[in-house]
C-alpha cells in the first residue's frame, strides 16, 4: 500500500492525490506547508512513548504477580476513600463493569483485596484493600517510578514539569462523543 499525498495548490489552484496518508498544501508563496502531519507525528510520538512505558511497567509487574490492569485496579482501590463499589471502580478505570469482576477475582485470590457488604446498601459490595495489598501496592509504585525515571531520564526536571503540565492540559479536555460506525454502503 502506498503513501497518499494529497496536495492543494493555493490561490485557486488544482487539487490532486496519490496513494494514502499525509495532507500537504502548496501556498501562494510556493513553499510546502505540512497540514495534519504535525498532529499525526505528535500522536505517534505519544503512542510510542506510552507503549514503551506500558511495556516497561508490565515487565516490572510480572515478578510482583500482577498484570498492568490488576495494578491499575489495586491503585484505584488503595486511593479510594471511602471504599469503592465494583461499578465505581469500573468508572474510574474507564472499563465496562463486567470487565472488573475477573480483575477483582484475581486480586482477591492473591489476598490483595476483599469484598465486603456495604453497610449502607446490603445489595452492594465494597472493595477493601488488605494489608498484603498495601504492601504489594508500595512495590508496584516503586516499580512504576523506576520505569518512569528510566524513560524520562533524558529530560531535565524543568522539562518533566512542563511535559506534565501539557499532558494534564490535554487530558483535562472533555472526550469527544463516541463516533457511530459507518454503515456498509452508507456515506463515509
List the CATH code of the domain at 65-140. 1.10.10.10
* pLDDT tens figures, 149-188: 999 999 999 999 999 999 999 999 998 887 766 555 555 5
**Do 102 and 86 contact (CB within 8 A), yes or no?**
no
pLDDT of residue 78: 98
CA gap 80, 84 in Å, rounded: 6
Please tell me the pTM assigned to this model.
0.68
Which of these ranges, 95-99, 117-121, 168-172, 177-181, has the smallest mean pLDDT? 177-181
Chain region(s) in the chain for CATH 1.10.10.10: 65-140
CA-to-CA separations, 35 to 9, 45, 46, 161, in angstroms, rounded: 13, 17, 19, 29
Closest CA to 127 of 168, 151, 158, 93: 93
Helix-strand-coil percent breakdown of the chain, rounded to 5? 50, 20, 30
Q: Looking at the DSSP assignment, which residues form a beta bridge with residue 149?
A: none
Cis check for the bond before 82: say yes or no (omega within 30 of 0). Answer: yes
What is the mean predicted confidence (pLDDT) over 96-123? 95
CA gap 115, 127 in Å, rounded: 5
Amino acid at each position: 500500500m502506498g503513501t497518499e499525498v494529497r496536495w492543494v495548490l493555493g490561490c485557486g489552484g488544482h487539487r490532486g492525490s496519490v496513494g494514502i496518508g499525509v495532507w500537504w498544501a502548496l501556498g501562494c508563496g510556493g513553499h510546502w506547508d505540512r497540514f495534519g502531519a504535525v498532529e499525526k507525528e505528535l500522536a505517534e510520538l505519544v503512542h510510542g512513548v506510552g507503549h514503551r512505558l506500558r511495556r516497561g511497567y508490565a515487565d516490572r509487574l510480572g515478578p510482583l504477580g500482577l498484570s498492568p490492569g490488576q495494578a491499575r485496579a489495586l491503585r484505584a482501590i488503595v486511593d479510594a476513600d471511602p471504599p469503592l463499589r465494583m461499578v465505581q471502580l469500573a468508572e474510574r478505570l474507564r472499563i465496562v463493569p463486567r470487565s472488573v469482576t475477573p480483575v477483582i477475582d484475581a486480586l482477591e485470590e492473591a489476598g490483595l483485596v476483599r469484598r465486603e457488604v456495604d453497610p449502607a446498601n446490603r445489595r452492594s459490595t465494597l472493595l477493601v484493600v488488605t494489608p498484603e495489598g498495601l504492601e504489594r501496592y508500595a512495590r508496584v509504585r516503586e516499580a512504576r517510578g523506576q520505569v518512569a525515571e528510566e524513560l524520562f531520564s533524558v529530560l531535565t526536571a524543568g522539562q518533566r514539569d512542563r511535559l506534565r503540565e501539557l499532558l494534564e492540559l490535554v487530558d483535562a479536555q472533555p472526550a469527544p462523543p463516541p463516533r457511530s460506525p459507518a454503515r456498509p454502503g452508507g456515506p463515509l
